Amino acid sequence: MKTKQRSLTITRSIHWSMAILVIPLATLGFYMANTQSYELYSLHKSFGVIALVLIIFRLFWRTLNPWQSSTKGTKTGKLVKRAHIILLLLLMAMPITGFLLSGLGGHGVSVFGLPIIPTQHDSQGLAIPFNKTLSDFGYLAHEVIAYLFSAMVILHIFAALKHHLIDKDNTLKRMLGSED
């Protein structure tokens, strides 16, 4: 019983820490890309790499300790399960495509100054891609998936609020940890 309680606490902690990390990360991404604030790119990449490590851990954890949705067994149960899987797949695709666009684009990837993938520049300081095709694909995919992911997260938040405010069930309370 104690072990089950501990594993639920870990699942909840991962869920909320990811939400706190990923929502500002996506907001920063849209802001910097739309205003061409290049000085913010390294901050975005640093937190993006940290997010990737946490996402990999989350996927392992989730496989071993699946979350039992309060909608399990109801009419929407299967739909909710699929929506959670899609959320996780889109979440995973974000840092992977980020790596393709930045790493293979020759722009380099580092975590707060610690280099992970080196930059590659010509004499005028312009980035030379290691692989232009994959980097162009990453660029397009990072943007398209960013919109899909954001739409899914917004839908997810509305669904959680609907459960809490309209259906008045324990879906949100369970994820917050105030109910089992």
The residue type of 100 is: L
Contact map string, positions 69 to 108, toward ligand HEM, x by CB under 6 A = xxx--------x---x--xx--x--xx--xx-xx------
Candidates 1-9, 21-29, 121-129: pick the segment binding ligand HEM (CB under 6 A): 21-29
If one asks whether residue 169 binds ligand HEM (CB under 6 A), the answer comes out as no
Residue 111 touching ligand HEM (CB under 6 A): no
Euclidean distance between CA atoms 180 and 167, whole angstroms: 18
Give the three-class secondary structure for 154.
helix
Least distance in Å: CB of 132 to ligand HEM? 15
127 binds ligand HEM (CB under 6 A): no
Q: Any contact of residue 171 with ligand HEM (CB under 6 A)?
A: yes
Judged by CB under 6 A, which of 8, 19, 40, 43 binds ligand HEM?
Answer: 19
CA dihedral 97, 101, 107, 109 (to 10 degrees): 10
Taking the C-alpha atoms of residue 9 and residue 176, their distance in angstroms, rounded to an integer, is 9
Residues sharing a CB contact under 8 Å with residue 101, sequence separation 6 or more, in sequence order = 107, 135, 138, 139, 142
**70, 169 Cβ separation under 8 angstroms:** yes
Closest by alpha carbon to 173, among 8, 61, 54? 8
Q: Pick from 68, 77, 56: which is nearest to 14 by CA?
A: 56
Question: CB of residue 159 vs ligand HEM: minimum separation in angstroms?
Answer: 8
Tell whether residue 157 is a contact of ligand HEM (CB under 6 A): yes
Rank residues 120 and 160 by Cβ distance to ligand HEM and give the closer one. Answer: 160
Pairing of strands 114-117, 109-111: antiparallel
Could you list the residues that contact ligand HEM (CB under 6 A)?
A: 11, 15, 18-19, 22-23, 25-26, 29-30, 33, 41, 44-45, 48-49, 51-52, 62, 67, 69-71, 80, 84, 87-88, 91, 94-95, 98-99, 101-102, 109, 142-143, 146, 153, 156-157, 160, 171-172, 174-175
